[in-house]
Amino acid sequence: MSKDTPTLAASTRERTGSRYARRLRAAGQLPAVLYGHGMDPISIAINETEIIRHLTEGAHVFELDIEGRKETCLVKDLQFGWLGDNVVHIDMTKVDLDEIVTVNVKLVFKGTPKGASLVGAVLNQDLSELEVSCKVRDIPEEVIVQMDEMEESFNVGELELPTEIKAVAPPETVVCHIVFKAEEEEEESGAEDGAEGAEPTAEGGGDGKPDGSEG
């Protein structure tokens, strides 16, 4: 981790359920559950503004101070509201800094591909996150996709990852690629022409009536 592990205060909550969770969020608290390492799950509440800020900055691991009890925790799952634009619940698991875990890390695209200078070239980003396996202490906040030498596509195997971080996806997995608008338009035009020129075909005899029908 390139930065110090954020420390957040958390409080235990005895009550659960959607109504109580809505009240928590209205009060600026985010409901969460902490589990792992054989411990019974603990329902907690965390300051929403603080944890969202750290998550946006790429943090995955937090030091929680749960009413004086310190726990190192990894964010395992974020649950979003029905519009998909706000976090409504967090699942966290207790971890050891030397424990090997699998997490999704955001990709940051930098540079200009060589092929981008061609007329009609458009960059398509196939991945926005990369699943990596590493020790908790080594989880990066982001992975850089340096595209300066890219011509038509960039694969996972071309990413410059530290030796302690392994990509889960196969090396040939496409991270981003260049398409040409002219080619796409020609393909779409050809498909439309084919659809317009197709004539419906009636099955049955040569008299144009279905088999077994009478005049």
Residue listed under structure tokens 């992975």:
143
CATH of 103-192, picked from 3.40.50.150, 2.60.120.260, 2.170.120.20, 2.40.160.40, is 2.170.120.20
56-70, 144-158, 170-184: least confident range: 170-184
Q: What are the helix (H) ranges across the chain?
A: 18-26, 48-56, 181-197
Task: For residue range 35-91, list pLDDT tens digits in order.
Answer: 987 788 999 999 999 999 999 988 999 999 999 989 999 999 988 887 767 888 999
Are 207 and 213 in contact by the 8 Å Cβ rule? The answer is no
CA 34/CA 24 separation, integer angstroms: 17
CA distance 32 to 78: 9
State the average pLDDT over residues 1-28: 83
d(CA 108, CA 124): 14
Does the structure show a pLDDT above 60 at 213? no
What residues does CATH 2.170.120.20 cover in the chain?
103-192
Q: How many CB atoms lie within 10 A of CB 66?
A: 17
Q: Looking at the domain covering 7-95, what would its CATH class be?
A: mainly beta
Q: What is the pTM of this model?
A: 0.72
What pLDDT is stored for residue 184 in this prediction?
53
Q: Is 173 exposed, middle or buried (0-12, 13-18, 19+ CB in 10 A)?
A: middle
Closest CA to 51 of 63, 66, 68: 63
- The SS3 assignment for 153 reads strand
Report the percent of the chain where pLDDT is more than 90: 55
Residue 127's pLDDT band, with cuts at 50, 70 and 90, is very high
DSSP structure class, residue 15: -
What residues does CATH 2.40.240.10 cover in the chain? Answer: 7-95
